[in-house]
Amino acid sequence: MQTGSAAAMITPDIRAWIGRTEAIGPLEVSRREIVKYAIATEQRLAKYLRGDEAPPMFLYGLLFPVVPLERIGSDGLPQRALLPTLPLKRVMAGGTRTRYHRAVRPGDVLQGTLRLKDIYGKDGSTGPLLFVVYELHIETLTGELVVDELQTRIVR
């Protein structure tokens, strides 16, 4: 286990990552993708099963890139380019606040930005914790807002 103050672990090189962005998309949404997701997640509303509208969590899978196995992290997710090398290695979900502006529909072409908003440390009872905060903004190609999200990852 890493010892020392969590705040001291955030070096100037790590802090320099704050504000960096990663472009997302454009990603075209098909009715077929919506129907497949609805069936796989056992949706019951007809609008999802017909593919007229995507269930809210549909975006979660859509936004992750399809990558070779060697780019999959130990948590089973694609490794993010928007993450500095940290002195702690175990990444956990720390929470998400999502605001949906409108439903995702077939034919939508989505684009957005993921921004590393903040990195800060706290000393917990079992050792130091680092918090990595991302802002996600997704809209249509015509600029219509779809979702804004604040994601926190905890690294220990």
- pLDDT tens digit at each of 156 positions of the chain: 445 689 899 999 999 999 999 999 999 999 999 999 999 999 999 999 999 999 989 998 888 777 888 888 766 777 777 889 899 988 888 999 999 999 999 999 999 999 999 999 999 888 999 999 999 999 999 999 999 999 999 999
Fold of 6-155: Thiol Ester Dehydrase; Chain A (3.10.129)
Q: Judge contact between 48 and 29, C-beta under 8 A.
A: no
- Give the pLDDT of residue 60: 84
Query: What is the Cα 18 distance to its own chain's centre?
Result: 16
- Give the pLDDT of residue 3: 53
- Give the pLDDT of residue 4: 64
Q: Judge contact between 54 and 104, C-beta under 8 A.
A: yes
Query: Beta partners for 138?
Result: 112, 147
- Give the pLDDT of residue 61: 83
- Give the pLDDT of residue 1: 44
Q: What is the pTM of this model?
A: 0.85
Count of Cβ atoms closer than 10 Å to residue 44 Cβ: 7
- Give the pLDDT of residue 75: 67
What does the alpha-carbon distance between residue 44 and residue 57 come to, in Å, rounded to a whole number? 14
- Tell me the two tokens of residue 49: 């099963």
What does the alpha-carbon distance between residue 117 and residue 13 come to, in Å, rounded to a whole number? 15
